[in-house]
Structure 1
Amino acid sequence: MADVLMVGALLLTAATGTVTVLTREPRAQLMVLSGFGLVMSLAFLTLQAPDVALSQLAVGSIVVPLMTLLALRVIERHSRESPTKRGKP
């Protein structure tokens, strides 16, 4: 039974990883990336590594997508500014 769960978790990891790579819209990709982090933590849990699963849950599902979302917002804000304002302090 444990082998079936492990194979299922690894197949789900491969599927969500593929969907993450094939998603083109950055904000949608962040949501899929967060789901990928959840699936990875499930895979680590089935591999009997609960400490790694908790770390992956915190970092891969929450921190990395949040930091990337904040970076996207900063990039969008700077791209809306006029080119003459960018070089001036």
Structure 2
Amino acid sequence: MATAVTLTREPVRQAIVLSAYGLSLGVLFVVVQAPDVAMSQLAVGTVVLPLIVVLAVHAARRHGEDR
């Protein structure tokens, strides 16, 4: 799935694929019996990181329009 994240060209869609990648990693950590790592991964990799990417893209586009 990491390859899918890098091959996605549009940043907003890339954030969505990144969120799915974080979710799949969280499920993998549950399967290998690491629930504490899984909870951290689900919180950060599925929610926080994609949100930061989307907000950064939005800010960059808005900053580009101001010029």
Which TM-score applies when normalising by structure 2?
0.95
Partner of 1:22: 7
Listed as ranges, the gaps of 5+ residues in structure 2 are none
Q: 1:15-50 CA deviation, whole Å, 9 max, x = no partner?
A: x11111111111110000000000000111111000
Letter in 2 for 1:36: Y
Listed as ranges, the gaps of 5+ residues in structure 1 are 1-15, 83-89
Radius of gyration: which is bigger? 1
Which of structures 1 and 2 has the larger relative contact order (alpha carbons within 8 angstroms, sep 6+)? Answer: 2
Percent identical among aligned pairs is 48
Partner of 1:72: 57
Q: Tell me the matched-pair count.
A: 67
Aligned-CA RMSD value: 0.7
Which TM-score applies when normalising by structure 1?
0.73
Moved over 2 A (4+): none
Is 1:59 the counterpart of 2:44? The answer is yes
